[in-house]
Amino acid sequence: MPRVSKVLTKVVTRLTPLSDSPKLDAQVLLAEILGKSRSWLTAHPDTPLTKSQIATTQEALSRLEAGQALPHVLGHWEFFGLDFDLDSNVLIPRPETELLVERAIHWLHSGAEILNIADVGTGSGCIAVAIAKNVPEASIIATDISWPALAIADRNGRKHNVADRIDFVQCDLLSPFTKISFNLICANLPYIPTQTLLGLDVYKSEPTLALDGGREGLELIRRLLSSATELLTPKGMLLFEIEASLGDSSLSLAKSIFDSAKVQLHQDLSGRDRLVEIKT
C-alpha cells in the first residue's frame, strides 16, 4: 500500500500548478483525510494508507483540479481560533477579517454599551459567531441576502453554542430594521471592483455574490453607510472591511456621510488598507 511520504509527494506534484503553497496544502489535505495532525504526518512517513483513504485523496484532488478551493473541499476552515463549516455558497474566512473582529471585541470590552449589534453580509457567520463567543453578553442580528449562506451561518452558530444569541435574517443589508438602533454595526460586504474581480482566481472558486462590489467596489458599502446614519446610535461604532486599493476612496466616502464622526483607516498585518472604523 502507498505510504504517507509517497502520497504526499504525489499530492504536492498535482497541487503545484494550482497553489502558491502546494506542500502546505498537501499536508493539510492528507492530515484531514487521515484524521491526524500535520506534525503526525512528518513523524510517521512510512504509515500505509488504506484503499478508502487513497480513493478519498483522489476525489479531493479531482475537485481541486476542477477549480474548487481547498477549504470548500475540506468543508471547514479556521477563523479567529474557531473551526467554521463551509460550502461553496459562502466566502472562505480570511485572516485579514480577524482585524475587524479584534476591533469590535476590543471596543465592546472597553466599556461600550452592549445593546444591539449587527453583522451585515454575514456569509458563514464567522464575524457574528466570533464576537458572540468572546462577548457573552452580546446579542447579534446577522443578515445576508443568500438563504444558502444563512443555512451555513446558522449551522456555525449552533456548532459553537451561540445560536441563541444570534438572529440570522435573510434580507438586503439592514432593510427590515428601520426602527432599531444599533450601537455596533460590522460589515464584510462584497468590495472587489467588478473588472478587478473578473481577472482573479477567486472569481472561479468562490461565490460572486459575496465578492462583486460593483464598478468601484463601493456599491453596497455606500448603501449601508447611507442607511446607517439613521441606525447607528450616538457613541456607536461601524466597522467595514475594504479592498486594499480602496483606502482613500473608502475614507472619503465615510467622512462625507458621517461628517461629524471620527473616521479611521486601519491596515492589516501585511500593511495594506483593510478596515474603516467610524465612531459617532
In tens, the pLDDT along 70-122 reads 999 999 999 999 999 999 999 999 999 999 999 999 999 998 777 799 999 99
Q: At residue 236, what are phi and psi to the nearest 5 degrees?
A: -100, 175
In a domain? residue 191: yes
**5-20 per-position pLDDT tens digit:** 999 999 999 999 999 8
**Does 217 lie in the same domain as 143?**
yes
**Sorting pLDDT into bands at 50, 70 and 90, what band is 182?**
very high
171 and 241 housed in the same domain: yes
Among 28, 43, 66, residue at a domain's last position: 66
The mean of the pLDDT values for the chain is: 95
Residue 200 pLDDT grade (very low, low, confident, very high; cuts 50, 70, 90) = confident
Instruction: Verify that 61 and 80 share a domain, yes or no.
Output: no
Query: Do 106 and 139 have their domain in common?
Result: yes
Question: Which residues contact residue 275 at a Cβ distance below 8 angstroms, ignoring those fewer than 6 apart?
Answer: 99, 100, 103, 239, 240, 241, 242, 265, 266, 268
Task: State the pLDDT at residue 114.
Answer: 79
Question: Which pLDDT belongs to residue 192?
Answer: 92
CATH for 45: 1.10.8.10
User: Do 153 and 267 share a structural domain?
Assistant: yes
For the beta carbon of residue 201, count every other beta carbon within 10 angstroms: 11
Question: Does the residue 104 lie in any domain?
Answer: yes
Identify whether 71 is part of a domain: no
Pair (112, 175) in one structural domain = yes
Q: Which amino acid is at 98?
A: E
Cell numbers linked to 272: 495594506
Residue 232 lies in a domain: yes
Residue 242 confidence (pLDDT) above 80: yes
CA distances from 157 to 80, 136, 160, 189, 260 (A): 14, 13, 5, 20, 36
Tell me, yes or no, whether 55 and 105 share the same domain.
no
Asked whether residue 172 is assigned to any structural domain, the reply reads: yes
pTM: 0.94
pLDDT for 9: 95
147-159 average pLDDT score = 98
Region of residue 14 (left: phi > 0; alpha: psi -120 to 50; beta: else): alpha
Instruction: Give the per-residue pLDDT at 4.
Output: 95
What CATH number corresponds to the domain at position 237? 3.40.50.150
**Euclidean distance between CA atoms 211 and 114, whole angstroms:** 30
User: Nearest to residue 91, comparing CAs of 135, 144, 133, 142?
Assistant: 144
Same domain, 166 and 50: no
Closest CA to 36 of 47, 51, 22, 21: 47
Instruction: Please tell me whether residues 62 and 80 are part of one structural domain.
Output: no
* 45, 66, 87 - which closes a domain: 66
Q: Are residues 191 and 107 in the same domain?
A: yes
| Domains: count for the chain | 2
Q: Residue 150 falls within a domain, yes or no?
A: yes
The CA-based angle 44-45-46, given to 5 degrees, is 95
pLDDT at 111: 84
The Cα–Cα gap between 115 and 137 comes to 9
What's residue 92's pLDDT?
Answer: 96
- In this predicted structure, the answer to whether residue 240 has a pLDDT above a threshold of 90 is yes
Residue where the block lists cell 466570533: 130
Same domain, 164 and 38: no
Give the confidence band of 35 by pLDDT, cuts at 50, 70, 90: very high
Q: Could you tell me if 170 and 270 lie in one domain? A: yes
- Confidence bin at 27 (pLDDT 50/70/90): very high
- Least Cα distance to 156 among 144, 141, 170, 168 occurs for 168
Domain final residue pick, 47, 66, 85 = 66
Domain that holds residue 60: 4-66
